[in-house]
Structure 1
Amino acid sequence: MKERLNLYINGRWVEPVGKGTVKVVNPCSEEAIATIAMGNEEDVDRAVSAAREAFPAWSRTTVAERAALMARISSAMAARQNEIGDTIAAEMGMPAPWSRMIQAGLPIATLNSFVPILENYPFEYDMGRTRIVKEAIGVCGFITPWNYPLHQIIGKVAPALAAGCTMVLKPSQLAPLNAFILAEILEKAGLPPGVFNLVSGAGSRVGQAIASHPEIDMVSLTGSTQSGILVARAAAQTIKRVTLELGGKSPNVLLKDADFPVAVRKGVHQCYLNSGQTCTALSRMIVPAEKQEDVVVLAREAAESMVMGDAFADGVFLGPMVDRQQQQSVRAYIETGIREGATLVTGGPEQPDYLPKGFFVRPTVFSNVRTDMVIAREEIFGPVLCILPYRSEEEAIEIANDSVYGLSGSVWSGDIERARSAAKRIRSGQVFINGADFDIDAPAGGYKQSGIGRERSKYGLEEYLEIKAVIGHNPA
């Protein structure tokens, strides 16, 4: 069993002040695979002091210096891609081939995408007599989740490095091992001491200390909406900048002229990716009422064709929930859907017969779901698809927008102009048309209770910049 009993602070692996530890559990086997250190508030203080000390020199580095370092980091991550993917598969359960491609591949792609953004970004420009200067905001605190652990870390670390910020990271204690690998990579790539600091620990202690710390200038969290509320409240005491990427209940609108066999099959896949533990999961399939029975047949076939099992078994698409608490939560939602009167098409709350061990949940489809049902309104974060019927296109858009969330969405139509029109009316940070592929260069973030701010693209970089007006820089 691996041990990660030190923290990475000021360019060194140091013994934590906090003396607690926690086991990292493989959710497929329910067995511990590692032990990590649990830092405390004093460890956060040490990390913040190191980041504060490193900030002046790092923020004055040139664009070329930062771009070259980011390219080295990306190359080093690529050299360990399979190791990273397999580590994440073991700690949170995504099947290994998918984990190598997504959990390890996306962070590398994200880091690579910020190199040209950095090289081409106008950090200074004139506006009449005034020079506009965009400067690094300062020391940043990052609190990241377990579902796409390294992808969410790099989504914050990459723009922060590009901007010239220093940082303190608290990864999820459910899937932290990838963060320790990243710290090793950053150290070997030559990142100056103090620029990146890693403090593992509980959200109630380390996360709270980061969010409320007076010497942290910005905090960025990816997590639940409730966690976002707590972080924003703590950050408000020192008026620090906050970016939040939170929950979702994303709609997948199939208009009457959609290619239903393709749209339903891909929609089920997108709902169940990472076993539904995706904040942008298209968990509400909104379909014409007269087509619902046809959709149910297609959705059942797609769901029942998916192989569930151990992350390292051949041919597996669906892994487990990350832990028993998440498994129990998803099962409770399925039971709620049954009580509320939704039609259980396939799946259910029972443990799969052929998987007696592991935190597995059967891929589940409900039809005849109403907008007032709990399963239609709350983020389930598991392999549960809700099919909601509509009677007009206007009603379809109303159902899509009838949510406190607005993170992502999708629309399908045989008429591209019709699809574009519908996409404009969906209130979410991203909308995919006709199953468009993921775009690493597109900004990501939410409307409403799905968050504040954006990640990736130049808009993600700008979250880490302050704007200064030097008036009289250019005398008349």
Structure 2
Amino acid sequence: MSAAPTLQSFIAGRWIGQHGAQALRSALDGHVLAYSHEERPDFAEAVDFARVQGLKQLLAMDFQQRAARLKALALYLAERKEQLYALSHHSGATRADSWIDIEGGNATLFAYSSMGRRELPSGNLVHEGPAIPLGKQGHFAGSHILVPRAGVAVHINAFNFPIWGMLEKFAPTFLAGMPCIVKPATSTSYLTEAVVRLMNESGLLPAGSLQLVIGSTGDLLERLQGQDVVTFTGSADTAAKLRVTPNLIRNSVPFNAEADSLNCAILGPDVSPDCEEFELYIKEVAREMTTKAGQKCTAIRRAIVPARHIDAVATRLRERLRKVVVGDPSVEGVRMGALASHDQQRDVTERVRQLLATCEQLLGASDGFTPVGDGVAEGAFFAPTLLLARDPHAEGGAHDIEAFGPVSTLMAYDDLDEALALAARGKG
């Protein structure tokens, strides 16, 4: 096996990074896929390049031209998607899981291209709404005019969608004429780097419109100004820490966080085990637990069901989850792959341990969990895990602790008001 490559940052039009630092391992068998780089990018240079070259190049085009570039970029990536599927496999993703990330990311490029071509004018100015009178005599009036921000967008993304997560933010930023600096989660940054390389090779990106940071953001946030923006996807804890960066507060830099929420699915009080809706409920909870090994912001973390049906739901869910074949997605019949990294495997294990302080386990690794495939013993696999809250109203537990994997907690309710109160405890 050849030596693992060192990933590189794309800063000021050149690729930076020669010396390996953190090892990034395959979620399937643990072998080293790549290394992050040791060198620290010059973030002053990155921001200046975006402000000068990026803005100049982007605003030399108008909405219509940038929309056309997005469509061309989507077509270019679509023709090369199989190499992304091959790499995505190492994140533990099945073909269906990777489809969400790869095809979903491309779909956002197409969607924003279409939106730009249909809804935005030529030029770089949008007149929003009619003139509004501001005085009784009609001597004064006002109207909103929107123009591109003369700043830089910093996108800090999560590990679970390294392609789609980047492209869904890049597309509207590019359309709006704003250069961006992307910082993917390190554990799956090998996928983001592969996409950025393809985007750069396409020749469709104006200089400075997209830069990539592998590893730490260093002092990047300290170099931003009031016309810049920061977007973040990830944990609520990390969002809270970044939001109070002194420079962001001092310069009132807009900070938008898409943090985790503990989603739920409520089985209606009028649904009995012999109803079609009951089977749909079981199927959906199991699907959300196992798609991308439960590593989705939309995954169902709490299954809230009528107390009189709690045993029936538990039985049917256990039956369905036991049939899920977990292992290397290249093996025929495998329906669920690994968690995206060994760090996530450790994190989910710890979160389940915390949940067991207020829950009992109905299904988990102790129920004969054996992933299939070669080398899987060194992989980041995790068993589908079903818990039951002893007291759904207790503090903490599944209302506050998220095991970001194939884990869901059953909760019983007596009436719909109680179900809605439990749902609201998940916040977000």
Letter of the structure 1 residue corresponding to residue 321 of structure 2: A
Per-residue deviation, 1:142: 1.0
Q: How does 1:279-294 map to 2 (within 5 A)?
A: 279-294=297-312
Among candidates 357, 371, 379, match of residue 402 of structure 2: 379
Among candidates 317, 323, 338, match of residue 305 of structure 1: 323
Q: Secondary structure at the match of 2:163?
A: helix
Letter of the structure 1 residue corresponding to residue 237 of structure 2: Q
Q: Partner residue of 1:33?
A: 33
Letter of the structure 2 residue corresponding to residue 260 of structure 1: F
CA distance in 1, matches of 2:422, 2:142: 48
Q: Partner residue of 2:42?
A: 43
CA distance in 1, matches of 2:19, 2:192: 20
Q: Secondary structure at the match of 1:176?
A: helix
Q: How does 1:440-459 map to 2 (within 5 A)?
A: none
Q: Secondary structure at the match of 1:132?
A: strand
CA distance in 2, matches of 1:346, 1:20: 41
Q: Does 1:345 align with 2:362?
A: yes
Per-residue deviation, 1:296: 0.7
CA distance in 2, matches of 1:65, 1:310: 43
Q: 1:30 to 1:66 in 2, by over 3 A?
A: same
Letter of the structure 2 residue corresponding to residue 237 of structure 1: R
Among candidates 326, 329, 336, match of residue 318 of structure 1: 336
Per-residue deviation, 1:62: 1.1
Aligned-residue Cα RMSD (Å) equals: 2.2
Deviations along 1:314-350, one digit per CA (max 9) or x if unpaired, are 222222223333222222333334343x332111479
Per-residue deviation, 1:12: 3.0
Q: Partner residue of 2:69?
A: 69
Among candidates 190, 193, 200, match of residue 204 of structure 2: 190
Q: Partner residue of 2:51?
A: 52
Q: Partner residue of 1:400?
A: 423
Q: Partner residue of 1:360?
A: 381
Among candidates 101, 104, 109, match of residue 102 of structure 2: 104
Q: 1:271 to 1:280 in 2, by over 3 A?
A: same
Q: Secondary structure at the match of 1:175?
A: helix
Deviations along 1:266-315, one digit per CA (max 9) or x if unpaired, are 11211332111112211100000001111111110121111110132222
Q: Secondary structure at the match of 1:141?
A: strand
Provide structure 2 residue ranges, at least 5 long, that are not aligned to the other structure.
121-125, 133-140, 272-276
Q: Partner residue of 1:120?
A: 118
Per-residue deviation, 1:217: 0.5
Q: How does 1:66-465 map to 2 (within 5 A)?
A: 66-90=66-90, 92-95=91-94, 97-121=95-119, 123-125=126-128, 126-128=130-132, 129-137=141-149, 138-187=151-200, 188-202=202-216, 206=217, 208-215=218-225, 217-234=228-245, 235-258=248-271, 259-340=277-358, 342-348=359-365, 352-354=369-371, 355-369=376-390, 370-372=392-394, 373-403=396-426, 405-406=427-428
CA distance in 1, matches of 2:48, 2:333: 48
Letter of the structure 2 residue corresponding to residue 132 of structure 1: H
Q: Radius of gyration: which is bigger?
A: 2
Q: 1:326 to 1:349 in 2, by over 3 A?
A: farther
CA distance in 2, matches of 1:178, 1:326: 17
CA distance in 2, matches of 1:106, 1:339: 38
Per-residue deviation, 1:213: 2.1
Q: Percent identity?
A: 22
Letter of the structure 2 residue corresponding to residue 127 of structure 1: A
Q: 1:227 to 1:39 in 2, by over 3 A?
A: farther
Report the TM-score when normalising by structure 1: 0.78
Letter of the structure 2 residue corresponding to residue 222 of structure 1: T
Letter of the structure 2 residue corresponding to residue 371 of structure 1: H
CA distance in 1, matches of 2:160, 2:113: 26
Letter of the structure 2 residue corresponding to residue 77 of structure 1: L
CA distance in 2, matches of 1:106, 1:313: 24
Q: Secondary structure at the match of 1:219?
A: strand
Q: Secondary structure at the match of 1:220?
A: strand
Per-residue deviation, 1:110: 1.2
Aligned length: 395
Q: 1:336 to 1:57 in 2, by over 3 A?
A: closer
Provide structure 1 residue ranges, at least 5 long, that are not aligned to the other structure.
407-476
Q: 1:351 to 1:224 in 2, by over 3 A?
A: farther
Deviations along 1:339-391, one digit per CA (max 9) or x if unpaired, are 43x33211147994455331211111112442325234211101111010000
Q: Is the 8 A contact 2:7 2:193 kept in 1?
A: no
